[in-house]
Structure formats: structure tokens, C-alpha cells
Structure 1
């Protein structure tokens, strides 16, 4: 690691200055995401993160390589998984890396002008190369970490969606309700099959009210999946009652040649609940 105490001290003296300079122009360069937030807490934290980066980066001229790399990795990890940054387009974040690098070059230009002939051209060029090399490495590392955390967040959101795709709602110790809403494709129908069986088993459900009043369309594959669900539930001791089948939904199932003959059907959820086939305890 190339160390230069005088250069390090000079750069550190200007950390607050370049943070303010950076933030005053950031809304022009990145007019959305975290950079456009009017929230004072978000702004203060953004400035802190920016200022912290300067202090960690300038240590490249004052610390051992391992210490410097670990410090930078800590900063990258914090920013990459920060919710505000995850909600900001990646290209805008990378643009701010570039603008910060340009700030460092201007600051280095000032220092070189002030020290005049105290250093060789070779030494000065080396300073610029250090900044350039590390910014390229940091940008790549940040993209990797940002992508990783973004993927984890998407997977978590998909898991929530999957859970909501088949929300088995307990009405009593033995009775539960599964309200289906929206369009059901083959992918979602398979999720419903797996999740419903699992939840009914865990909740020890004996009777399930399967309400279709919120379902708009249904195709042959989905209808067959629903029949598979009803049969699978029967195998684990769950009796299913269908309710809320709209006229257009009923017509499409008949046209497809699918008849729900193995299940009790009620016109509405209210009538299904009032059914004497089970009692609430």
C-alpha cells in the first residue's frame, strides 16, 4: 500500500467540504430515488454515508491494504443492503460513484498545485492511478453486493406473494376459509395446491370453504388443479365446499367439460357458512 501522510491529511481536511459540495448538486445529477428524498433523516443519513466513504477511501494513503479493504467492504455492505439504495436505480448510484471520483481528482489537482515540485511526476501519476484502480474495484464489488441483496429482497417478496396466494383463514378449530381472488394461472394454482394442503394439515382443518367469488377466469388446467386440490384434501380428511362461482365461471367450466361432482357447491360464501354440514365450535 502506498502511504503518504501529508496527502492523507490534506484529503481528510476536505471531507466535509466535498460531502456538502456533492449533495448540493446531487438532485440535478440524480433526480430520483434516495437522492431526491425530502425526508431530513434520509438526507442526514445519506450525507453521513457519503462522508464515511471519503474517510474510508482516503485511508488508502494511510493504512495497510488488508485494513483498507475490510473497511471499504463494510461500507459497501451497508450501502448495498440499505433499503433506500435498493429503491434507487443502480445506474444512478454508479453515476454518483463517478461524480465522487471526479471530486477526488479535482481535490488531488489542488494538492498538486499547492505542493508544486515536492513530488516527482511519477509519484503524482501513481496517486491518480490508485484512485482510478480502486474506484473500478469498488464499483464492481458494489454492483455484485447490490444485485445479491436486490435478489434476496425479490425472493422474499415472492415468498410473501406465494403465501398470500393461498391464505387459509381459520374460522374455528375445525373450519377454515380459502378465498381466491384474481386470475389464477397454472403456476399460481400449483402454489395454491401445495400451500393449502400444508396449511390445512398444520391447522388440523376438517372443513374448508373454497370461495371463488373473486376469481374472474379459469381454464382447463386450473380447473383440473382445483379438482386435484379437492381430492388431495379429501385424502387428508378435509371436506371441501365450493362457493361464489360466478355465472361466467360456471359456463366456462361446463364448456371445458369439467364438473365438480365430488364437492358440495353453494351459491355464496354466506350460504356455505350457514351449511349444516359442519358446525362452528
Structure 2
């Protein structure tokens, strides 16, 4: 930035900041931060304008730009806040510098515009790049976290595990389900896997195909897959589509599926009150003899 214009901007930073804040306040009623509190909006604006002036003082340092862009992402503010804010700042700064000169011709205006652009454009590029990079990094971490939670295999009893599925099943997630299922069956030495689709909103041909593949893979490694959570509308859809789920057991609820799993592993649920009564009756009978 031209040293003459730089001096004007720095010496009159308070005036420029106030002009900028007055104009930027109108953006709050826009379509992206209208629900932000006045206190947070004002403090963020102050920080934003401080970042801009810090850039002209500490040329070459980008740490403050990185921190500010990361803060905006954490707040959930859109990229347009940065671009709109800097465009307003550019206009306000140009207007203020021009107002400080008694004689303004086309050459002088061109010099001011060029000088201010040389100051603000690198900031725009840097902030946009930092914002985009931070956003992509956060989205990547969230995607990994969601994948880890999207197909859990939960051991509920020796040799019996449950895989609850929630949400839409696409090809990528189906692959993850298959991997987690096979790995979990081997890890937990599962004889029976209950695949619960209660939380799957739609079961179409593709989803059913993925489920059949997963169940078949479980069968090939010596275990049984029971599909549970078959709601009436899903059962009707499966029948209408002509999908064959007859190769492995299906149950309408997790409770019924768990009872079947116990039977397959030679166990059953016993009412202790009934059993205790039987024992007492047997003891009483022996005593009478």
C-alpha cells in the first residue's frame, strides 16, 4: 500500500472503523446471521476490523487470519460474511481517503483504488483460503466420525451381537457395514448377528441387495444373520419388489430376534419366579416323601 495512503488509514483508523461498522450492521438483517446476538455480532465485527488493520501493520504474518477464519467456522458463519465485510471495508476506506483531499482528479482516484486494492485483496484471498481449508478439514473429520458411528457392532451376550442401522444406506455406507460386520463377527466370535433396520426409513431394491450381501457374507464365515425391525410398510415394499429374503431369518422386532438368537445358541429366557416356584415345589414334594 502506498505509504501516504497507509498513513492516512492508520492515523484515522477509528473513523474508518466506525464508518465500516455502521455499514456492516445492515448485513445483520441479511440471510445468514440474523439470529446472532447483538453482542456477538459487535465483538466479531471489532475483531474482524482489527484483523484487517493488523494485516497492514504485520505484513507477512498470517496467524491472525488463520485464527479468525477458524473462529468463524466454529461460530457457523458463512464465507459471505468475510467477502461482504471486506468489500464494504474497501469502499469505506476509499471514500474516506478521497474525502481527505481537497483536489481529486481521475489520476488520484486511480491511485487510491489501486493502493487500497493492494491492501485488501491479499486479505480476501488469504481469509477465503484459510476458511476453505479449515472448513474442508472439519468436514473431513466429521465424515470420519460419522462413518465410525454409522455401522457399530455391539456385543450384547457371548456369541450374540447387534448392528443397529439408522438413516439412509448408500453404496459407500453399505461397504462400511460389510467391513464392520465381518470384522466384528470374527473379533467377537459371534454365532448370531442381529441386523436391526428399525431406523432405516426406506428399504428399496438397492438397500435390500446390500443387506442380502451382508447376510450372505456372514453365513459364509459360519455365522447366522437375523434381520430385525421389519415394519409392515417395509414388508409390503419387499414383497412388491419381489425381493427374496428367505435365505436368513427375519423378525419384526429386536426382542423377537434376540429370542431366536438365544435358541440358535442353545439358550433361552427363563422366568426366575417360575423356576424358583418349581424348585420350592420339588423340595416340598421330596420332603413329603
Aligned to 1:25: 23
Determine the C-alpha separation between the residues in 1 that align with 2:216 and 2:253.
22
Matches within 5 A, 1:131-280: 131-172=116-157, 174-201=159-186, 205-236=190-221, 238-275=223-260, 276=262, 277-278=264-265
Determine the C-alpha separation between the residues in 2 that align with 1:19 and 1:208.
64
Task: Please report how far the alpha carbon of residue 229 of structure 1 lies from its aligned counterpart in structure 2 after TM superposition.
Answer: 0.7
CA radius of gyration, larger in: 2
Unaligned runs of 5+ in 1: 60-66
Moved more, 121-130 or 255-264: 121-130
- TM-score, normalised via structure 2 length: 0.72
Q: Deviations over 1:192-249 (max 9, x none)?
A: 3234334555566553211123334322332221121112233455432221212332
Q: Deviations over 1:56-96 (max 9, x none)?
A: 22x3xxxxxxx61x22x334323333344773333343121
Unaligned runs of 5+ in 2: 269-289
Q: Report how many residues are paired.
A: 264
Aligned to 1:63: none
Matches within 5 A, 1:1-20: 3=3, 8-20=6-18
Aligned 8 A contact 2:193 2:226 in 1: yes
Aligned to 1:49: 48
Question: Structure 1's 91 and 190: CA in aligned 2 closer, same or farther, altered over 3 A?
Answer: same
Determine the C-alpha separation between the residues in 2 that align with 1:270 and 1:138.
60
Task: Please report how far the alpha carbon of residue 122 of structure 1 lies from its aligned counterpart in structure 2 after TM superposition.
Answer: 7.3
Question: Structure 1's 51 and 215: CA in aligned 2 closer, same or farther, altered over 3 A?
Answer: closer
Tell whether 2:97 aligns with 1:99.
no
Matches within 5 A, 1:15-94: 15-31=13-29, 32-34=31-33, 37-38=36-37, 40-41=39-40, 43-57=42-56, 59=57, 68=59, 70-71=60-61, 73-84=62-73, 87-94=76-83
